A and B are shown apart, each in its own frame.
Chain A
Amino acid sequence: MTRVKVNGTEREVDVDPSTPLLWVLREQLELVGTKFGCGIAQCGACTVRLNGRAIRSCVTPLSAADGQEIQTIEGLAPGEGQRHALQAAWIAHQVPQCGYCQSGQLMSAAALLASNPDPSDDEIDAAMQGNICRCGMYGRIKDAIKTAAKNGGASAPAAKETIDG
């Protein structure tokens, strides 16, 4: 039995502890916002935060998360009906196209802003270099990170607007 704290909630899972965290999140914990892209830590689609740090869950065994805190895309918004500043900026800049890599992009960006609230272009590049976007929205991602940083990063959640379709 492995205990993990996921998005603020204690969870127990009974899985081979060598199983990559990605598959435990998706299959046992049914948190499917975290995606599979390559399986070898090359694309970043599976990025989640382990004790605040961005990690590639496809190569992180469950055992490494034992007793630790994990945040996934489902836990990024500060509360029900709210959006993280990055999520609001992502919408404002119309970042996603297919959207598949965006959970990972957002989690990498969230880890960056948490440790560096006002990153330079080079610092953004360095933090985001592990995340591939085959739709090629890098320019918009970078602009959105700067907007979110300007809006206070993680500390200033934006209210959720009613524009869902």
Chain B
Amino acid sequence: MGKWTRRSFLASGLVVGGGLVVGVALRPGNRQSKLAPLVTGDGETLVHSWVKLDEDNVVTVIVPHSEMGQGAGTALAQMLADELDADWDLVRFEEAPAISEFANAPLGKGVLLEGVDIPEIVLPTVDGILLRTAKALDLQITGGSMSIRATGQYGMRVAGAAVKEMLRDAAADAWGVPADEVIARKSQLIHEASGRTAPYSEFASAAAEMTPPAKPTLKTPEEFGIIGKHVERHDIPSKVDGTALFALDVRLPGMLYATTRRAPTFGGEVKSIDDSATRAIPGVVDVVELPPTGVKAMLGGFTSPESVAVVAEGFWAAKRGIEALGVEWNESGNEGVSSEAIFEQFDRDIRAGVEREADVAEGDVEAAMASAAQVLEADYRVPYLAHTCMEPLNATARVENGQCEIWVGCQSPLTFRKAVAEALGFEPEQVTLHNCFMGGGFGRKSRADYAIQAALIAAKVGRPVQLIWTREEDVRQDFYRPAVQSRFRAALDDDGNLLAWENTYVDKHEPVEAPLIPYEVAARDIGHVGSPTHVPFGAWRSVDHSQHGFFTESFFDEVAAAAGRDPYAFRAALLKDKPRHLAVLNKAADAADWGSPMAEGRGRGISLQESFGSLVAQVVEVTMIDGQPRVDRIVAAVDAGIAVSPDGLSAQIESGIVYGLTAALYGEITIENGAVVQSNFHDYEALRMAESPKIEVHIIDSGHAIGGAGEPGTPAVAPALANAIYDATGTRVRSLPVNRLDLGSPQERTDQA
């Protein structure tokens, strides 16, 4: 998010210069002697940066990603274990420590070089530079649906194959036989001619001394034995008996608890504090002010605003203390800002078109509009959204003797470590970060503000402190999914052919391709204008796709209706040259029995979205009850290239759909007096079981490049819902959330009965 873009990275010359000839998973020499003490225990040998073997022949994969529910660790371990020909029963994984050697350069490669044609010969160089760059930029990020398609594909598989070759060479040396006669199978090395068999672990030490091969042989998809198979997630047993360790569960001797508050109006600062009532509460230990802290980070710098903390012997006293605190805030100048004013500003700026920048401009849109039989126009908009991870933001810190130890759940451990160090005036090496399971992340836990606060409080009070945000603070001090307005025009000829597509929206972030449509249209002009607001913003599951998926696929449905065409057939007709898109669309439509009759008051909508390298089509069925939709069923088809962990992919799509559906039905952060109105789950609602539809996920293994899983389920659900509501009622949904709309009464069904 923020100002960082792939373009600016490439333009900076970091990728194209230089001359290191080393890979990411394959750095020559061995760093194991340096890394080993950091990641190995008794009886373990670090064979490769990401692979340990122990005396019982157990392989431990060191995963440079955080676990926020997506199950990446299991899928990445599958990828490495498959290439290693390991026995899955002997495979474990653990998260990499937050040190720069585990920066996930493959993510950088995936993010930064996607779509860039690099000659094969320079790839090792590119990898090497990216590792260097990744270290410099603190790239140990979990986000962008990148874990499997980048780290897994470019890192884990290569590392697994390399280690297998090293073990085979070590066995061949020891046995005095040619390496090509040694077979690796289920964590055993076998030389059939001499009848010798030994576990991998026997050669771990010898392999650890070797230089990894420059080009290990990777398997073809037909050879996969673990990739593509259903395996149970390793983290799940600990999540059904209460033993999974979240940052909130950390307990340190002598630990205090704290909670914080910032100015409700963004930009406000402390004018005065009356803490007499707070200090009178039994258990309250201290009241401390925390200065604003700027954070520089690759994916957009930000400021952790000034805040006030109450520190107490227990959280309950801290919470009562903060409620009793008399804080007067300075006026920030934003007191007059409301959601209404923000949308008026968006409307004005789109109309003015000042400094409009085109994402795509091809063909003569104006000429097409002038000659069209019909020109359609519509304005769409979506509100700000909060993340509301189930686990409220928290961090536990101990700062003593020039060292900081911090326990946190975060999506970017290296960025957090550096941010905490800078806030304390330390070097990053003086900070040890323990990353715990995250109780949800969704983009929010890529911002280090809560970790900085915990460290500053611990430093001030001189005792370990667990900072826990109240849910109210979590809702009111988020980095929000931006509100956006988007204006469309489309031109149709007499026969209902789409001649031109014009779109102008505010506030462009990432991914850059989010507003593009896959459909064939001769003239397109898609562009954006700047219209900044004072509301802090950040990445939210699927980022810009979350808005543009709704906008483009809903307006496209309007175009289909104006053309007098069935929305599925109209889409399919304009995807003739895109067989992958078409296959996904067809799969969803077939599985949902598209075109079958529906009763009065019911409706069906379809949508298609490409995001993070994956394609997802959805069909939503609704029944209108008292002017609101009940979502009965959602059928999704997904092509993520190769489904590494099919049930895991399905679970991620299900999850993405519910996250997107929650936002579409209920999600709205409104601004009044420059501050957020909502505060907790009673007024910022989440979908619950009774409203949760039946969801079917159909996976297409197309064999194409592996795509993302965590985010692609989210964008397509809002438009499919909106289109289903139109089908049921004849009313277009052009703004969200749906529960704020007057959708009228069901239309009489004459079209499909």
Contacts and interface: CB of A to CB of B under 8 A. Distances in A.
Interface of A: 15-16, 19-20, 23, 27, 30-40, 42-43, 45, 72-74, 76-77, 83, 86-87, 90-91, 94-103, 106, 124-126, 128-129, 131-142, 163-165
B92 interface: yes
Contacts of A132: 390, 681, 686, 688
Interface residues of B, number: 65
A23 B388 contact: no
Contact of A136 (B237, B241, B246, B654): B654
Interface of B: 67-71, 92-93, 232-244, 246, 248-249, 251, 257, 282, 314-316, 319, 388-392, 437-442, 468, 470-471, 647, 651, 654-659, 661-662, 680-682, 686-690, 692, 694-695
B690 A20 contact: no
A136 B692 contact: yes
A55 B162 CA distance: 53
B232 A163 contact: yes
Given A98-B68, A138-B692, 7 more contacts: A23-B315, A35-B391, A87-B240, A95-B240, A96-B236, A129-B689, A136-B687
Contacts of A165: 92-93, 234-235, 237
B681 A42 contact: yes
A90 B240 CA distance: 7
Given A45-B390, A125-B689, A141-B689, A136 B316 contact: no
Given A36-B468, A134-B440, A125 B690 contact: yes
A90 B680 CA distance: 28
Contacts of B71: 97
B664 to A, nearest CB: 13
Given A87-B240, A100-B439, A129 B235 contact: no
A161 to B, nearest CB: 8
Contacts of A39: 319, 470-471, 680
Contacts of A77: 241
A95 B319 CA distance: 33
Which 9 pairs, one residue from A and one from B, show the smallest C-beta to C-beta distance?
A: A33-B242, A136-B658, A100-B439, A165-B234, A98-B69, A99-B239, A97-B69, A73-B242, A138-B692
Given A99-B437, A101-B390, A137 B654 contact: yes
A123 B235 CA distance: 30
User: Which of A86, A124, A135: most chain B Cβ within 10 A?
Assistant: A135
B235 A126 contact: no
B703 to A, nearest CB: 25
B241 A73 contact: yes
Contacts of A136: 654-659, 661-662, 687, 692
B234 to A, nearest CB: 3
A96 B680 contact: no
Given A101-B390, A131-B689, A32 B239 contact: no
B635 to A, nearest CB: 13
A140 B657 CA distance: 14
B689 A98 contact: no
B439 A98 contact: yes
A77 B243 CA distance: 12
A145 to B, nearest CB: 10
Contacts of A27: 257, 314-315
A100 B440 contact: yes
